[in-house]
């Protein structure tokens, strides 16, 4: 509940539109009590409009005095013609909220023209989206990829929507949908592709996926093994686009290029019109080695402002690191083919012995092991330096014994480098993640160091943080 009020409470909304529940993994989830709490926490609300979805809506209208059903809010009658109002390019379109895992969520205001041009460019020029083609992107409404998907209406494409678990009733769910509705573009996350791979399912053997010409992946770096899995088991000739951007720009800094080859493990190129460079700590461009991903020239979908900000928070978020140059906060590197590797968030970069290491380089070696379901790495201050600590969720029936610990370290040493090898490996049952599904290394790092977590409610599973409190393995 606090996660909602922390966001919406900053903008004083007058109308709240809610469903009366939802379904997940075949179960109906009632949210009447939660919505009532949210309404109490938003005194600016004048009306609550209830969309019956999991019921008839009465559970909410009976609890909330200012609530009305969707049909009653619309009223009766045949309706009329839609009237379109001319607006300015920089007029506000919508607010997207940051994850809020390091403080109160930022209210990022995007412009009508900026978001429209960014999405038209990415959909039509980068992805070749044609009118009437079917586009699917698995996303919750709280992730900017939902806004990116909705933007494809400007290209006259057909949006394919899905609500619920992508693995219900089983791993074939999304591929059944793709086959039945003949998707042209299948958008998802790197974690979803990895989960399908670890399940042992081979979609291409079970489904006719001829209509799919492109698979897009974002949310976290797509590891080489996932590239191979897609082309070996889903579709051999599909254009696999790994892309990276953010809520901040509601689009991509780097992504696909239909004119160049796809190299395993690489993002193909900077997005069109994005002056992407990789800089060192002194603000000098790097052609080799790892550094900060920056954009040296303004671009259309830069936010027009943060809500209730005099400009100082905006500047601190993107321009404090380098003077008048956008710094995205991604730890990146050019490939020999002119592509890009994203090694993780730079604020979560590990620094043992003064050497910067991206967490994704560790995950790439660990998460391809069948014994490991997921991993999270942090740097722990220890003995006047930083040591790498790796947390792992193990496959069912697997125990973290001495042999598995040695094997994990060996794989990291061989696949990455001796510098990447964690000093400590700890098995956990869960890993905290944001509501868009991204693991949150910074929150875990703060818990391990005994720091207060400013905004636990920003996490989808805040209870997972308790698993990292005062661990005996980290005291020795």
Is there a single domain that holds both residue 254 and residue 380?
Answer: no
Where b means 16+ CB within 10 Å and e means fewer, 433-459 reads bbbbbbbbbbbbbbbbeeeebebbbbb
* 299 belongs to a structural domain: yes
| Mean per-residue pLDDT of the chain | 92
Of residues 457 and 175, more confidence is placed in: 175
Q: Does the pLDDT value for residue 80 go beyond 80?
A: yes
Assigned domain for 83 exists: no
pLDDT at res. 135: 98
Tokens of 245: 């951007």
Place 278 in a pLDDT band, splitting at 50, 70 and 90.
very high
In a domain, 238, yes or no: yes
pLDDT band at 103 (very low <50, low <70, confident <90, very high): low
pLDDT band of 350, cuts 50, 70, 90: confident
Residues 230 and 293 in one domain: yes
Q: Is the pLDDT of residue 109 over 90?
A: yes
Q: What is the pLDDT of residue 359?
A: 87
Q: Are residues 273 and 400 in the same domain?
A: no
Q: Indicate which CATH number applies to the domain containing 395.
A: 3.30.300.30
Any domain includes 138: yes
**Higher confidence at residue 158 or residue 441?**
158
Q: What is the average pLDDT across 160-168?
A: 94
Q: Is residue 221 assigned to a domain?
A: yes
Does residue 152 lie in a domain region?
yes
Is residue 152 domain-shared with residue 292, that is, in the same domain? yes
Distance, CA of 324 to CA of 296 (rounded, Å): 8
Alpha-carbon distance of 231 to 64, in angstroms, equals: 52
Who wins on pLDDT, 338 or 2?
338
Mean pLDDT over 325-350 rounds to 90
One domain, residues 338 and 354: no
Average pLDDT over residues 447-464: 84
145 and 267, same domain (yes or no):
yes
- b vs e for 68-89, b when ≥16 Cβ sit within 10 Å of the residue's Cβ? bbbeeeeeeeeeeeeeeeeeee
Is the pLDDT score of 77 beyond 90? no
Domain's final residue, options 296, 325, 344: 344
* CATH assignment of the domain containing 304: 3.40.50.12780
Q: Say if CB 135 and CB 160 are below 8 A apart.
A: yes
Q: Work out the burial of residue 156: count CB atoms within 10 Å of its CB; fewer than 13 is exposed, 13-18 middle, 19 or more buried.
A: exposed
Task: Express each pLDDT in 48-59 by its tens digit.
Answer: 999 999 999 999
Residue 220 has pLDDT above 80, yes or no: yes
| Dist CA 136 CA 32 (whole Å) | 30
Residue 267 sits in the same domain as residue 137: yes
Residue 15 pLDDT: 97
Of the three residues 43, 74, 105, the one that is the final residue of a domain is: 74
Number of domains into which the chain is organized: 3
Please check whether residues 273 and 416 belong to one and the same domain: no
Query: Which pLDDT value is given to residue 102?
Result: 59
Predicted confidence (pLDDT) at residue 261 exceeds the cutoff of 80: yes
Helix axes 359-366, 402-415, angle to 10 degrees: 120
Residues 21, 161 share a domain: no
Q: Check whether residue 180 and residue 302 sit in a common domain.
A: yes
Range of the domain at 45: 2-74
- 394-446 pLDDT, tens digit per residue, is 999 999 999 999 999 999 988 888 888 999 999 999 999 887 778 889 889 98
């Amino acid at each position: 509940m606090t996660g909602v009020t922390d966001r919406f409470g900053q903008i004083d909304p007058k109308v709240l539109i809610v469903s009366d529940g939802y379904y997940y993994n075949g179960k109906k989830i009632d949210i009447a009590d939660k919505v009532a709490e949210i309404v109490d926490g938003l005194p600016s609300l004048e009306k609550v409009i209830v969309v019956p979805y999991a019921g008839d809506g009465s559970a909410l209208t009976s609890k909330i005095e200012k609530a009305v059903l969707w049909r009653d809010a619309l009223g009766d009658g045949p309706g009329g013609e839609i009237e379109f109002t001319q607006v300015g390019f920089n007029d506000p379109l919508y607010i997207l909220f940051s994850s809020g895992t390091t403080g109160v969520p930022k209210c990022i205001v995007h412009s009508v023209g900026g978001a429209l041009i960014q999405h038209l460019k990415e959909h039509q020029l980068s992805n070749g989206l044609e009118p009437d083609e079917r586009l699917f992107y698995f996303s919750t409404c709280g992730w900017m990829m939902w806004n990116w998907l909705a933007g494809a209406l400007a290209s006259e494409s057909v949006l394919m929507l899905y609500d619920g678990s992508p693995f219900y009733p089983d791993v074939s769910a999304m591929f059944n949908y793709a086959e039945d509705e003949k998707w042209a573009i299948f958008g998802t996350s790197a974690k979803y592709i990895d989960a399908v791979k670890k399940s042992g399912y081979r979609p291409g053997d079970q489904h006719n996926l001829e209509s799919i010409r492109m698979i897009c992946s974002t949310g976290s770096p797509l590891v080489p093994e996932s590239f191979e899995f897609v082309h070996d088991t889903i579709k051999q000739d599909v254009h696999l686009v790994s892309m990276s951007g953010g809520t901040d720009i509601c689009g991509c800094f780097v992504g696909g290029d239909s004119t160049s080859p796809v190299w395993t493990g690489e993002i193909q190129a900077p997005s069109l019109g994005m002056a992407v460079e990789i800089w060192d700590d002194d603000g000098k461009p790097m052609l080799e080695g790892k550094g900060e991903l920056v954009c040296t020239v303004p671009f259309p979908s830069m936010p027009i402002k943060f809500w209730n900000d005099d400009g100082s928070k905006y500047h601190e978020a993107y321009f404090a690191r380098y003077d008048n140059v956008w710094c995205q906060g991604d730890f990146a590197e050019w490939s020999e083919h002119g592509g890009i590797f994203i090694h993780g968030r730079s604020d979560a970069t590990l620094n043992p012995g003064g050497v910067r290491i991206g967490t994704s380089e560790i995950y790439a070696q660990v998460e391809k092991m069948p014994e490991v379901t997921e991993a999270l790495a942090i740097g722990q201050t220890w003995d006047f330096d930083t040591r790498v600590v790796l947390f792992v969720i193990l496959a069912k029936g697997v125990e973290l014994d001495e042999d598995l610990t040695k094997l994990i370290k060996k794989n990291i040493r061989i696949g990455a480098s001796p510098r990447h090898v964690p000093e400590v490996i700890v098995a956990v049952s869960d890993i905290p993640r944001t509501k868009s599904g991204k693991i949150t290394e910074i929150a875990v790092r703060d818990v391990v160091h005994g720091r207060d977590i400013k905004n636990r409610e920003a996490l989808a599973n805040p209870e997972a943080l308790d698993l990292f409190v005062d661990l005996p393995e980290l005291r020795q």
